[in-house]
């Protein structure tokens, strides 16, 4: 599909846009150069689109060859095939609701609509990690991101990864997300220890040797295993890539726990680069 090996990879979040040139032969960032800008996502559509376009134009200017394709990792809900925003009532991008983002962005950039493709951000993370870790010979891989929210995605060999959208699946007396993200650590530590913390990092830095942390560690491991088992059964794979800020502490939670041995678990290595590489890999 490519006439050359350079594609723009873009990651759009609730308050930021990052863009880079991806060398699709090596699956790395050309010259390690990333353009980043803050986005006022509660602003008007024109301002948001101009911020996105100027960031992308800045990075296109650094390309060694003319750019034919732009892959964009975008949070949902979003009509990825047609490029229509369906985000509403999430304190971000309300003014883009039901607008033809693909067409409007193509106009801002002076490109054809066919040059721009979108992918779910959780799916882009998974796809980026798969290509960089050279795991694409597997038939199916599941991705989990653990941070302020719970992301889940599925990749099938030869296909584009897709959002599994399992964050709100019922679990215990609520949904899975409420037991696996940063706010769970904050809430649970307050319940057990009576102390306010900002998240897992503060707990690990100051309370790792305490009895309270041992309780939290055991509980979180159970919640994570339950989710992975649910995910594995729903999508028929036991190969996982786990990313997000909480994943950095993954060995602490799963070490010496035999139940996790049924899974083949890889830890994400790319950080913010994953979504941009994954977005570019749409065109591989």
Same domain, yes or no: 49 and 70: yes
Residue 58 lies in a domain: yes
Residue 68 lies in a domain: yes
Q: Given a cut of 70, is residue 6 above it in pLDDT?
A: yes
Strands 16-23 and 28-38: antiparallel
Same domain, yes or no: 122 and 147: no
Q: Are 176 and 169 in contact (CB under 8 A)?
A: yes
Give the pLDDT score at 1: 45
- The tens digit of pLDDT for each residue in 155-184 reads 999 888 899 999 999 999 999 999 999 999
Q: Quote the domain boundaries for residue 16.
A: 6-126+273-283
Same domain, yes or no: 145 and 260: yes
Strands 116-120 and 84-85: unpaired
Give the pLDDT score at 3: 52
Mean pLDDT of 120-135: 90
In the chain, how many domains are there?
2
Q: What is the mean pLDDT of the chain?
A: 92
- The tens digit of pLDDT for each residue in 67-81 reads 999 999 988 889 999
Mean pLDDT of 241-267: 94
Mean pLDDT of 84-100: 91
Same domain, yes or no: 147 and 180: yes
Residue 263 sits in a domain whose CATH number is 3.30.420.40
Mean pLDDT of 186-201: 95
Give the pLDDT score at 204: 96
């Amino acid at each position: 599909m490519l006439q050359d090996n350079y594609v723009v990879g873009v990651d759009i979040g609730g308050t930021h846009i990052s863009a880079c040139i991806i060398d699709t032969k090596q699956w790395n960032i050309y010259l390690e150069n990333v353009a980043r800008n803050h986005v006022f996502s509660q602003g008007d559509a024109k301002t948001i689109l101009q911020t996105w376009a100027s960031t992308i134009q800045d990075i296109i200017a650094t390309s060694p060859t003319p750019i034919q394709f732009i892959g964009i990792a975008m949070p949902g809900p979003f009509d990825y095939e047609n490029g229509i925003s369906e985000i509403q009532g999430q304190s971000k991008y309300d003014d883009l609701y039901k607008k033809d983002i693909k067409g409007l962005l193509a106009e801002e950039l002076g490109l054809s609509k066919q040059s721009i493709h979108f992918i779910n951000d959780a799916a882009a993370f998974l796809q980026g990690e798969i290509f960089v870790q050279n795991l694409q010979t597997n038939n199916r891989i599941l991705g989990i991101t653990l941070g302020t929210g719970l992301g889940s995605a599925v990749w099938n060999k030869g296909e584009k990864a897709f959002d599994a959208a399992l964050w709100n699946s019922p679990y215990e007396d609520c949904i899975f997300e409420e037991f696996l993200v940063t706010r769970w650590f904050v809430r649970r530590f307050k319940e057990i220890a009576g102390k306010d913390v900002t998240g897992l990092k503060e707990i690990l830095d100051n309370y790792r040797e305490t009895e309270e942390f041992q309780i939290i560690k055991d509980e979180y491991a159970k919640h994570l295993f339950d989710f992975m088992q649910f995910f594995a059964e729903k999508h028929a794979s036991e190969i996982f890539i786990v990313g997000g800020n909480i994943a950095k502490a993954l060995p602490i939670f799963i070490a010496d726990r035999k139940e996790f041995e049924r899974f083949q678990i890889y830890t994400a290595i790319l950080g913010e680069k994953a979504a941009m590489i994954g977005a570019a890999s749409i065109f591989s």
